[in-house]
Amino acid sequence: SANPAREVAVMSSSSRIAVFSRMAEDQLYLNRACLVGYCDLNASSLRALLGIEARVEFWDLDVPGLPCGRDDGAQQQLLLPACERWDGTPPMEGELKPLQVLNLKYEQYSLILVNSHVPPSRVHLVMQRVFQLFEQFKVSRVHLLSCLHLPDAAANPIELLDDIDNRADGGAARLTETAFNGAADRLDPGLPSLDLTASPVRDAFLCCFVQFALVDRLPFTLLACVRHRAKVASVDSPSVAAFQACLADRLGLAFSLERSLNGIRFHRQPVGAGGDSGMYV
C-alpha cells in the first residue's frame, strides 16, 4: 500500500534514477542486504555505487557527534561531501550528502555511503551508528567495497592482480573478495582472498569496520581492488568498472559507468589531514 509520507520526484531526463523522499526524518530504515562505499584510496567504491540506476530513496544518515553541512563559520568541525554531482543534476533529484543511505525500492538493497573524509578519531562514531542500524533492521547480508593499498605485497596474492598503477591505459582491474565471520553470501567464490593481518592497513575506516564486525560477529565480505602503490588517481576507471561489473553480474543491479566517471567530482583530502592510520586488522 502507498505510504502517504512518501513524495515522488519527477525522473530526470538525463538519468534513470527516480528519487523518493520521506517527510519524517525518523523513518530511516535499511533493507536486509547492504552495500557499503566510502572515501577509500581514490573513492572508487563511492563512484561505483553512485552510478546506480534504480528507483531509490535518499536518506540522511545522522551520526551523533558528527555534524554535517557547509562551513558557515561554526566553531565545530563539519563533515562535507567528498563526492558531488558534476553532471547538472538538480539537487532535488538526489543531492549527495556526507553521510547517506540510498534504499533501492525494488531490488531490496540499501547503499550506505560514507561520502566524507571522516577523521580517524571520529570513524568509530560512524561505525556505532551503522552497526546499530544493522542490528535494528536485522541486516543479514553486507558487502563492503574498498580500493586499498597494501604495503606488504608478498603477504597477499598480488600476482593475481594486474599492475595497473604502472600502465598508461589503466589496465583491467582485478578484484578480491574476503569473507569474515563465516559469511556465506560471497559475491564470487572464484575471487582470491586477502590476508589483512599480514601487514598494516592504512585505512582507518576499513580497520574500524572489521573490528566492529568481529565484535558483533557480523558476517560480511570485503570486495576489494588492491593497488601496489598508494597513488590517488583523479578517476580510477578500472576499479569503478570492476566493482560495477561484479555487482551487476552477481546481484543483477544496473549501473551507469559514464555517470560514475564523468558525472561526479571528488574532493581529495587535504594533505596532512591525517586520513591514514597505520592499523592492523
Tens of pLDDT, residue by residue over 145-163, are: 999 887 665 555 544 444 4
pLDDT of residue 180: 97
CATH fold label, 18-268:
Rossmann fold (3.40.50)
Say how far apart CA 228 and CA 148 lie, in whole Å.
9
Residue 99: the pLDDT is: 93
pLDDT-derived band at 70, boundaries 50, 70, 90: low
pLDDT (0 to 100) of residue 21 = 41
In the block, residue with C-alpha cell 545522522: 62
pTM score of the predicted model:
0.80
Identify the pLDDT of residue 236.
Answer: 83
The alpha-helical segments, DSSP class H, found in the chain are: 44-50, 123-136, 204-216, 237-251, 257-262
Closest residue by Cα to residue 46 from 274, 281, 255? 255
pLDDT of residue 95: 78
Burial 148-157 (b: 16+ CB within 10 A, else e): bbbeeeeebe
Cα angle 82-88-89, degrees, rounded to a multiple of 5:
80
Q: Which residues contact 75 (CB under 8 A, 6 or more apart)?
A: none
Q: What is the mean pLDDT of residues 250-267?
A: 87
